[in-house]
Amino acid sequence: MTKEEFAELREKFYKALTKKPLTTQQAQEFLERSKVPGKIIDMLIHEAANIGLIDDFIYSRLFIEGHLHWGDAKILYELSARGVSRENINRALGESEPESQRACELAQSWRDYGLEERKIAARLRSRGFTNRAINAIKDSLE
């Protein structure tokens, strides 16, 4: 690969990263789909991580902020599927609003809307909230 080809590839990759944040795994898959050789993939990902264009922890934090209506189990599943390590996910969850608080806010809004306790619990469960979070809010629903 010539220097010009490499520079063009790097520019295309960085442009993709500035349009949409990607996890390390997603970035690797993007480059593999572009038929980039493995050694160059590693180099580009390392370089992008060093300048902050790829950061799985920041990606996790942003993802969680955008999905406050989801429980920890669903967030964990979705981020894991995107290749984020459990350590990064747990750190990001630790810095976010507690799951029980998110569940309580959702439950209260649905209760105000007139939903009964049984349906609220079912909705929370379907959004990946743990039984612990659901049980913690049951007193406030009654």
Domain carrying residue 62? 56-95
For residues 124 and 86, membership in a common domain is answered with no
Same domain, 11 and 29: yes
Q: Say yes or no: 46 and 7 in one domain.
A: yes
**136, pLDDT greater than 70:** yes
Same domain, 90 and 109: no
With cut-offs at 50, 70 and 90, classify the pLDDT of residue 138: confident
Task: For 40-53, write each residue's pLDDT tens digit.
Answer: 999 999 999 999 99
Answer whether 46's CB lies under 8 Å from 31's CB.
Answer: no
Using alpha carbons only, how large is the chain's radius of gyration in Å?
20
Residue among 70, 126, 118 at smallest CA distance from 93: 70
Could you tell me if 115 and 103 lie in one domain? yes
* Per-residue confidence band for 2, with pLDDT thresholds at 50, 70 and 90: confident
Both 104 and 133 in one domain: the answer is yes
pTM here is: 0.86
Asked whether residue 17 falls in the same domain as residue 44, the answer is yes
Answer for the pair 65, 96: CB distance below 8 angstroms, yes or no.
yes
| Contact in structure between 139 and 106 (CB atoms under 8 Å) | no
Look at 136 and 23; give whichever has higher pLDDT. Answer: 23
106 with 129, same domain: the answer is yes
Burial tier of 24 (Cβ tally within 10 Å: 0-12, 13-18, 19+): buried
**Does 104 lie in the same domain as 89?**
no
**Mean pLDDT for the chain overall:** 92
Q: What share of the chain in percent tops pLDDT 70?
A: 97
Q: How many domains does the chain have?
A: 3
> Are 7 and 21 members of one domain?
yes
Contact 136, 100 (CB under 8 A): yes
